[in-house]
């Protein structure tokens, strides 16, 4: 294990369809914005699930917040909060913002009063005010992503994971999102995101390109 907050060495994942990723090594500093970028098939979602302690049959080593993400996956899940993992973890489009908040607070076992205070603070950090009555499907794409991030902060966590950060966003909105994620890291949370394109990724972020396994 290195001194990095999140560290991988020779990390791989084999599936029935072939390797999702292989021989990955990286170090992410505490409180950093880390962005993994790559095309479809490069293992972005699977890697973020691995960092969140939600992927089995990993090889190599992966440490998250001082925990062995392979041998202590249950403990890792407690310290990593998922904002979105495409195709697996996402907002329900036919719920309102209020319903989404209530559902996430219940799921994360956060008392409503505390959750409301944390959510309001997240709105300030993200520079957004959500209309509590609107359906998720009726929100602009940027606001949907920011809502997923805000909800992921309801319970205490050291790491926040956001897959496909650039999904459905024009370049200007990608810049706004990255600036918002950078402000989240200013609170001490390490943010790990994935993108296809990197034009909006700030120079201060740690970036890791991924390629589809051969």
Please report the pLDDT score of residue 90 as a whole number: 95
8 A C-beta contact, residue 72 and residue 119: no
Rounded Cα distance, 117 and 128, in Å: 15
Rounded Cα distance, 122 and 129, in Å: 10
End-to-end CA, the chain: 27
Lowest mean pLDDT among 31-35, 38-42, 158-162: 38-42
> Whole-model pTM?
0.95
Label residue 34 by pLDDT band (50, 70, 90): very high
Rounded Cα distance, 144 and 142, in Å: 5
pLDDT averaged over every residue in the chain: 95
Label residue 2 by pLDDT band (50, 70, 90): low
DSSP state of 154: S
Q: In what order do the strands lie in the sheet with 159-162?
A: 80-84, 159-162, 190-195, 33-37, 206-209
The percent of residues above 70 in pLDDT, for the chain, comes to: 99
Residue of 37, 75, 147, 179 lying closest to 47 (CA atoms): 37
Say whether pLDDT at 1 is over 70: no
Per domain, the residue ranges of the chain are 6-201
Q: How many CB atoms lie within 10 A of CB 54?
A: 19
Say whether pLDDT at 127 is over 70: yes
Average pLDDT over residues 59-64: 97
Superfamily of the domain at 6-201: P-loop containing nucleotide triphosphate hydrolases (3.40.50.300)
Q: How many CB atoms lie within 10 A of CB 102?
A: 14
Residue of 7, 48, 41, 42 lying closest to 165 (CA atoms): 48
Please report the pLDDT score of residue 17 as a whole number: 82
């Amino acid at each position: 294990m290195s001194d990095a907050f999140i560290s991988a060495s020779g990390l791989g994942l084999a599936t029935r369809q072939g390797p999702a990723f292989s021989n990955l090594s990286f170090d992410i500093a505490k409180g950093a914005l880390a962005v993994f970028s790559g095309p479809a098939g490069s293992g972005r979602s699977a890697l973020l699930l691995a960092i969140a302690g939600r992927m089995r049959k990993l090889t190599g080593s992966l440490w998250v917040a001082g925990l062995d993400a392979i041998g202590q996956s249950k403990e890792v899940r407690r310290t990593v909060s998922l904002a979105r993992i495409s195709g697996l973890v996402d907002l329900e489009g036919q719920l309102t913002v209020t319903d989404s908040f209530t559902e996430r607070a219940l799921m994360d076992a956060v008392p409503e009063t505390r959750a409301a205070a944390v959510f309001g603070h997240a709105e300030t950090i993200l520079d957004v005010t959500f209309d509590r009555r609107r359906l998720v499907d009726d929100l602009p794409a940027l606001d949907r992503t920011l809502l997923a991030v805000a909800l992921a902060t309801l319970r205490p966590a050291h790491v926040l994971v956001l897959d496909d950060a650039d999904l459905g966003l024009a370049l200007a909105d990608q810049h706004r999102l990255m600036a918002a994620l950078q402000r989240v890291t200013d609170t001490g949370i390490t943010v790990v995101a994935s993108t296809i394109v990197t034009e909006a990724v700030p120079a201060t972020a740690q970036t890791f390109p991924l390629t589809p396994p051969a």
